[in-house]
Chains A and B, each alone.
Chain A
Amino acid sequence: GQQVMQIPQYQHVQEGEDFTTYCNSSTTLSNIQWYKQRPGGHPVFLIQLVKSGEVKKQKRLTFQFGEAKKNSSLHITATQTTDVGTYFCAVSGSARQLTFGSGTQLTVLP
């Protein structure tokens, strides 16, 4: 099935600093989804990107899909303690099953 590399694995930032996580694939993706999992919780859908070069924003979160549709990023501006959690990208396989990246665990230091 589809595989996607996600980096970094961990990120510690001071509150107010920015944060970025990246997903990369060796093959062209039809779409990419992003999820957030709070500590002790379950993954929650954030957004889906479909078009080449697409950029979507949700308040302080900016999501980008690469022009070649092989990479994507999630950028958080001015992190807050409420941003703590693990952020996953996920890509669709041929049978519509979702394969998740390894996740980036974000810690925000107050």
Chain B
Amino acid sequence: DAGVIQSPRHEVTEMGQEVTLRCKPISGHNSLFWYRQTMMRGLELLIYFNNNVPIDDSGMPEDRFSAKMPNASFSTLKIQPSEPRDSAVYFCASNPGQGNSPLHFGNGTRLTVT
């Protein structure tokens, strides 16, 4: 089991550019979560998918953020246009989607927007 795989590990971009973060959940996991971590706000849930369908996107900061899950093995989080305040570590996590199963986190993408 390779675990949750995220790419890239690090992303440095200029303000105004589009950023796409990628995630491959653990095979067989039905639920996928995107979290953002900053010193000021801690771990914030951005969006949550179950069986590829967005269930709760109330944590998405604004229209500049969008997330998709075209199939069970792939999800993207896109920021367009990016701003310096988007700088954070973005984690993807998955779980089997049953009951209150623990989350398995990827290694995260550290995003820096200059």
Contact = CB atoms under 8 A, between A and B. Distances in A.
Interface of A: 1, 30-31, 33, 35, 41-45, 48, 88, 90, 92-93, 95-103
B10 to A, nearest CB: 12
Main secondary structure of the interface of B (DSSP, over half): strand
* Chain B interface bracket (under 10, 10 to 19, 20 to 34, 35 or more): 20 to 34
Nearest to A44: B105
Nearest to A46: B102
Given A95-B48, A96-B31, A45 B42 contact: no
B102 A42 contact: no
Interface of B: 31, 33, 35, 42-43, 45, 48, 50, 55-56, 58, 91, 93, 97, 99-100, 102-108
A88 B100 contact: no
Contact of B91 (A42, A45, A90, A92): A42
Contact of A98 (B45, B97, B107): B45
A48 to B, nearest CB: 6
Q: Among A41, A48, A93, A98, find the residue whose CB has the most chain B CB atoms closer than 10 A.
A: A98
